[in-house]
Amino acid sequence: MSLDLVTAGESHGPALVAILTGLPAGLRLDRSAIDEDLHRRRQGYGRSPRQQLEADEVEVLAGLRHGVTLGTPLALVIRNRDHENWTWGMSPWPPEGEPSGKGTKPVTLPRPGHADLAGTLKYGHDDVRNALERASARQTASHVAAGAVAKALLGEIGVTVSGRAVEIGGETDADAMRAATDAARTDRDTLGGIVEVVATGVPPGLGSYAEKRDRLDARVGAALMGIQAVKAVEIGDGIALARARGSEAHDEIEPDRRRMSNRAGGVEAGVSNGEAIVTRAAMKPLPTLMRPLRSVDLESGEPGQALVERSDVQAVEALAVVAEAAVAWELARAAREKFGGDALTDFVAAHSAYVDRIGWRTP
Ligand code: EPS
């Protein structure tokens, strides 16, 4: 049983779309829980005015009846309210009438750090906008909606997933994070940071050491690296483990088979070991600077300054929600593989039978 996700949507196009396949039938979804995660993603200090414009409410087009999954593809839509300012510029079909609104002139000045240059070269675009629209982190909204569905499924077997920002612009204290954001805004600059996602209640045995692609840490790591602007991922004590001795690096085993520490971050040899899964993702500073970096005009070949668009100063708190969704999605996929079931009751029963067999009780 494979849980899969495909998304579509441009940042200023009509809508974002997510299609989720492989969900069991009988899972009750709470609309407000999905919308709450979408709301959380829009929050955070240092976000752009775009976030006040968007409502980000999920619409369901298929796969759900009276709030309960049918076991068929679940189709979700999130409308881009901002599209009304881009109806000509981002019209899917050749636009009619005189150019009006935003996006009517081609973008020719790629931003260092964004998909602008490589995307334009790769796809042969003559307008950088054709690359940046899909590369935009706006797209993470559809992944957050899918993550909320994954969390509902994981909740049925007692797994919780939660993310938080732990560092912004090198600061770890909430007041200092805000001050750093204010200072960057004043300097017309941007910041990055680090988020942490913790999953509890994961039984031992998700993922496998059998093949590289099956390893839970490789899968969760790829899910986090796949998020816009993420440049590094850590599982458990990660890089610090490379500097420790073996006697200080591993998690000794108690008679009840729990661990005396959790330096491995809940995964050993690519398999969950029953401790909390602890992951961290590091985000680079956002590439849209109000004081732009040097670039080249792709039309004239002359030196120029990169595109300046309305943007966030930092979006680390938003990343915490997106990373939470990414980890939840990957854990839900691994749980579906292990416990299967067309009906939710089959999935839950397979989990119960398994934890009974191994004598595992979450604390
Ligand atoms: C983004 C640029 C900004 C961000 C956007 C990501 O968009 P805009 O230019 O429309 O203000 O606000 O993020 C979102 C819209 C969102 O919902 O997260 C980019 O270039 O990646």
Q: pLDDT for 53-94, tens place per residue?
A: 999 999 999 999 999 999 999 999 999 999 999 999 999 999
65 vs 349: CA distance, rounded Å? 23
Residue 129: CB atoms within 10 Å? 23
Locate tokens 């930092």: which residue? Answer: 314
Residue 311 has pLDDT above 90, yes or no: no
What is the rounded radius of gyration, in angstroms, for the C-alpha atoms of the chain?
22
Find the 133 Cα to ligand 1 centroid distance in Å.
9
Show the beta-strand stretches assigned E in the chain. 4-8, 15-21, 58-62, 64-65, 68-69, 74-79, 160-168, 193-200, 230-235, 267-268, 271-272, 277-283, 294-296, 303-305
Per-residue pLDDT at 39 exceeds 90: yes
142 alpha carbon – ligand 1 mean position (Å): 14
User: Which residues, 6 or more positions from 273, have their beta carbon under 8 angstroms from its beta carbon?
Assistant: 204, 251, 259, 264, 266, 267
Nearest C-alpha neighbor of 20 from the set 261, 329, 357, 356: 329
Q: What is the pLDDT of residue 46?
A: 93
Sheet holding 277-283, edge to edge: 160-168, 193-200, 277-283, 230-235
Side chain identity, residue 33: A
CA of 116 to the centre of ligand 1 (A): 14
Mean pLDDT value of segment 125-135: 98
Is 251 in contact with 262 (CB distance < 8 Å)?
yes
Read off the pLDDT band of 326 (50, 70, 90): very high
In the chain, the amino acid numbered 350 is: A
The beta-strand segments (E) located in 96-239 are: 160-168, 193-200, 230-235
Cα 296 to Cα 117, 118, 133, 287: the distances in Å are 10, 13, 20, 15
How much is the pLDDT for 361? 81
What confidence score (pLDDT) does residue 98 get? 97
- Residue with CA nearest ligand 1 atom 16: 138
Tens of pLDDT, residue by residue over 274-306, are 999 999 999 999 999 999 999 999 999 999 999
State the sign of the Cα–Cα–Cα–Cα dihedral 201, 207, 212, 213: negative
Mean pLDDT in residue range 150-164 = 98
Written as six digits, the tokens of 41 are 């993603």
Q: Is the CB of 314 under 6 A from ligand 1?
A: no
The torsion defined by the Cα of 262, 268, 274 and 279, in degrees rounded to 10, comes to 60
Whether the CB of 56 sits within 6 Å of ligand 1: no
The Cβ of residue 360 has, within 10 Å, a number of other Cβ atoms equal to 15
- Please indicate whether residue 208, judged by its CB atom, sits closer than 6 Å to ligand 1: no
Residue 110 near residue 295 (C-beta atoms within 8 A) = yes
Minimum-distance ligand 1 atom for the alpha carbon of 49: 11
Residue nearest to atom 17 of ligand 1 (CA): 138
Q: Which tokens hold the place of 281?
A: 């993702």
CA of 50 to the centre of ligand 1 (A): 7
Please check whether residue 7 is in contact with residue 17, taking contact to mean a CB–CB distance below 8 angstroms: yes
CB 335 within 8 A of CB 203: no
Residue 257 has pLDDT above 80, yes or no: yes
**pLDDT for 363:** 63
Phi and psi angles of residue 95, each rounded to the nearest 5 degrees, phi first: -70, 150
Q: Is the pTM of this model over 0.85?
A: yes
How far does the centroid of ligand 1 lie from the alpha carbon of residue 319, in Å?
13
Residue appearing with tokens 């976000």: 47
Fill in the amino acid letter for 329: W
For the four alpha carbons of 249, 250, 252 and 258, in that order, the dihedral sign comes to positive
